Amino acid sequence: MPETTGPVGFVFGGGGVLGAYEVGMVRAVLHYGIRPDFVLGTSIGAINGAAVAAGPDEQVADRLTELWASPQARAVYGDSLPRQIGRFARRTHLHSPGPLRRTLERELGIDTRFEDLAVPFHCCAASIERASEHWFSSGPLIDAVLASSAVPGLLPPVHLGQEHFIDGGIVNSVPVGHAVALGARTVFVMQVGRIERPLRPPRRPWDVAQVAFEVARRHRFARELQEAPDDVAVHVLPTGGGSAKDDSPLSYRNFAAARGRIERAYEATCAYLEGLA
């Protein structure tokens, strides 16, 4: 087993359908006997991370693999185009949050609270009213994970208390700094691969927002890596190689490649961990 210094933090970043890569990474890390002292997640990383915090053993990777390949996963963004257009014309989002809520309730339990999880779990969302990041770490789990993964334009904001929350990736997509602030001395970063690919100027109108978001998220991630103290080991785990197709505007609905992504990331992360031993 690779040597680690505790506390150990698992960080699951945002990235939509590419979150399948994270399942392969965590399968490898758990296979090598590494267990988290706490888990952080943003957006799709909040979904993967909550499952791992509920059961941080190799079986959780099997459950997540089946979930990613399931009809329930495809149903999250499975609305027909006419229904999407009709909803968007009347509201602010293309998809109903119902399928995602039902999937989370089935996988995590309807009444599960953060306090019920096997290890501490925190997930990040963006508060609209305060224009700032917000960390959930106690209380009802499902609502918090829904808030963290409420992608603007795809899913509606989640109303909790006096605030409305949207996807945590808007403010902190790969929260390495929060793991360090919580006391981690070893951090394993499960990421979706975009940081591994060069960023180029936009060529089409729909590229503009995506490139702007990537600049913001990569800038913060790079800064937090640089600011990590010398006595903190941060391991950014590899995906095993993606492609430009991963970043297509319509790829967010394509779950067909999930198993392949999981397998590539598992093999690449195993090789990485072997190098640490």
- Nearest-10 crossing angle of helices 98-108, 44-54: 20
Distance CA 54, CA 18 (A): 22
Q: CA-to-CA distance for 12 and 175, rounded, in angstroms?
A: 8
Q: What angle do CA 178, 17, 79 make, to 5 degrees?
A: 125
Q: Which residues on neighbouring strands pair with residue 8, listed in sequence order? A: 186
pLDDT for residue 200 = 86
User: Residue 134 pairs with which residues in a beta bridge?
Assistant: 125
pTM score over 0.75: yes
Burial 35-48 (b: 16+ CB within 10 A, else e): ebbbbbbbbbbbbb
* Tens digit of pLDDT at every position of the chain (277 positions): 677 888 999 999 998 889 999 999 999 999 999 999 999 999 999 999 999 999 999 999 999 999 998 888 888 776 555 665 565 556 677 888 999 999 999 999 999 999 999 999 999 999 999 999 999 999 999 999 999 999 998 899 999 999 999 999 999 999 999 999 999 999 999 999 888 888 889 888 878 888 888 898 889 999 999 999 999 999 999 999 866 666 665 566 677 888 999 999 999 999 999 999 7
